[in-house]
Structure 1
Amino acid sequence: MDNRFGDIEIFLSVAAQGSFADAARVLRLTPSAVSRSIARLEKRLGVTLLRRTTRSLALTPEGISYRDRMSVLIADMVAVEGSLGQESQDPRGLLRVNASPSFGVECLIPVLPGFAERYPAVTVELTLTDSIVDLVEERADVAIRIGPLRDTRLRAKKLGHSRMMLVASPDYLARRGTPERPDDLDAHDCLRFSFRRSVDSWPFRVGGRVVQKPVEGRFFGNSGEVVRRMAVAGCGIARHGAFHVAADIRAGRLVEVMPDLNPGDGEDIHALYAAEDRAAARVRALLDYFDSVQLFTS
């Protein structure tokens, strides 16, 4: 019997998992059954989709194209079938959400219990990572992005804007003094990020114009959450989005530094989703829920 849909599902799982064995475990099949399915699919298409070696597995250019197009078609089919059935009235199913650890911990986790109570038939899978994941490849439904948008294939819903601010712990300022002008930072440890898009200067509004002050320090962190914790621990002065440090400021663990010189810059925060997912009730429900709650401090 021709089981084209099953072969496509198996191929997409192999592409997502990166190995026959892992795909077999997810699909609850044997590795040999997965291998036969891929061979059958490649024979029908007349192209090689996967290049296999003893240690690795990679998609060929044809495999990448087939994965991207089939992911869209299957997601669209699921959305259409769902819209004809109960899902159009009652959101249900698995909802995969991806966000950075800082936004997930500070903003999403506090409101997800309310979402779960409102939509009991929806199962939420929350993944927190500072890596920019491909929604199609990772099979995520919604991803929260902070800063400039780069993936034009996706639709975006703006959740708000969060200003940047300098913060430090009261203990650190008591030991090292409170800076009053940008040049005072030369005598301080400034907490910086170790990933490639980090910058080595901070902006300030001085005399009606914005100036960039080079900063240095003895500590680096590979994520916003790491740098926030280092600031709370008294390791130095950090520059963070207001949403990330709002709770610490309310609790007195951190205080804003040089607020009068804040240039007022910030970052937009968006929820991204694939265009073909616009009909999925569970995605619409989450986006609408974001409108009904205060996700973060701007």
Structure 2
Amino acid sequence: MARSDINRTGEMEVFASVVEHRGFSAAARVCRMTPSAVSKLVARLESRLGTRLVNRSTRAFQLTPEGCAFYERTKRILADIADAERSAGAGEQPIGRIRLNTSASYGTHILAPILPEFLQRYPGVTLDLIQTDTVVDLLTERIDVAVRAGPLKSSSLIARRLGATTMRIVAAPAYLARSGQPRTIEDLDDHARIGFSYSRTVDGWPMKRDSQTVVVPVVGPVQASDGEALRQLALGGAGIARLAGFMIRDDIAAGRLVPVLDHLNPGDREEFHAIHVGQGGPLPSRVRAVLDFLAERGRVE
């Protein structure tokens, strides 16, 4: 039978502080306890759970796999408790900070125009927007919601689909006037192809050749770590780029960028998802508000 005198919430809060501050001494300062008391609390917790949560070392702090799993569940439980307390006094009105991770392209072209509407709709929510095309660990970086492009790997992450966008090869008129308009795949050998500086699901440009799809390598004088930088390079005439349709729709309409080799486009589409950590349980109202808003207003085409 479970003991009724154990303050499980308090233990979870201290353990989460140990993880987030990378050690007992730092957590002790935050929790206003002695390092010895924090260490003993974690030891009691490990004893009751029957497993080691932290590998203790004088040189480094390291969670065990069991510790990582317990921390993930702990954060969700503490967030649910905090959300329940806020909801009881705020009529379910979302309140609190959201850490939202997305690519620079999605952030610039989709999020930025609609976020003022979100903030007006939910004045109790504040946003911490982290823009990077690098895939970050949601748990380690304490990300509440992330928007990611491309196929999703099977994981404990929960995803909500935000649509899909076509991909198009484009270049600036000034670049084409200087270097010529490519007509075939082979013509690309004489052109600067600018692409991503990190490995992607398809490491190159899919293109049609007869009845097959081939992948053309990206070889050029410059690469970039995010799609918005590639767009700016293409606009500046640095070379030819393959970019998401939602990023360049206005540029094409205004003549700032020109489609290249559209007749060889295989028609592939890049999917977008809003993801969060969880196992399908109740969500904090602030997280649910962001997910619902993105599904309503943050879709890509």
TM-score tier, shorter chain, comes to 0.7 to 0.9
CA distance in 1, matches of 2:56, 2:104: 34
User: Which SS does the other structure have where 1:191 is aligned?
Assistant: strand
Matched, 1:156 2:163: no
Gaps of 5+ in 1: none
Instruction: Identify the range of structure 1 (184-193 vs 51-60) with the bigger mean alpha-carbon deviation.
Output: 51-60
Shift of 1:24: 7.0
Match of 2:97 in 1: 94
Shift of 1:269: 0.5
What do you get for the CA RMSD once the two structures are aligned? 2.9
CA distance in 2, matches of 1:111, 1:82: 26
Match of 1:138 in 2: 141
Match of 1:237 in 2: 240
Match of 1:6 in 2: 10
- Relative distance call for 1:142 and 1:23 in structure 2 (3 A) is farther
Matched, 1:72 2:73: no
Q: In the alignment, which of 251, 271, 275 is matched to residue 274 of structure 2?
A: 271
Higher helix proportion, which one?
1
CA distance in 1, matches of 2:36, 2:230: 45
CA shift digits 1:208-233 (9 cap, x unpaired) = 44333344222222222332222222
Matched, 1:15 2:19: yes
Matched, 1:113 2:116: yes
8 Å contact from structure 1 (residues 72, 276) kept in 2: no
Gaps of 5+ in 2: none
Shift of 1:291: 3.8
- Relative distance call for 1:150 and 1:17 in structure 2 (3 A) is farther
Matched, 1:127 2:138: no
CA distance in 1, matches of 2:179, 2:35: 62
| Percentage of matched positions with identical amino acids | 41
User: Normalising to structure 1: TM-score of the pair?
Assistant: 0.84
Match of 1:45 in 2: 46
- Relative distance call for 1:40 and 1:231 in structure 2 (3 A) is same
Shift of 1:264: 0.8
Matched to 1:68, the amino acid is E
Shift of 1:251: 4.4
- Relative distance call for 1:128 and 1:294 in structure 2 (3 A) is closer
Shift of 1:181: 1.6
Instruction: Identify the range of structure 1 (179-188 vs 4-13) with the bigger mean alpha-carbon deviation.
Output: 4-13
Match of 1:227 in 2: 230
Count of aligned pairs between the two proteins:
293
Match of 1:104 in 2: 107
CA distance in 1, matches of 2:24, 2:133: 27
Shift of 1:237: 0.8
CA distance in 1, matches of 2:121, 2:11: 36
Match of 2:181 in 1: 178
Shift of 1:53: 4.4
CA shift digits 1:61-100 (9 cap, x unpaired) = 3322321232233334344445545252x22222221112
- Relative distance call for 1:260 and 1:45 in structure 2 (3 A) is same
User: Which SS does the other structure have where 1:104 is aligned?
Assistant: helix
Matched to 2:290, the amino acid is L
Structural mapping, 1:285-296, within 5 Å: 285-293=289-297, 295-296=299-300
CA distance in 1, matches of 2:245, 2:220: 22
8 Å contact from structure 1 (residues 189, 236) kept in 2: yes
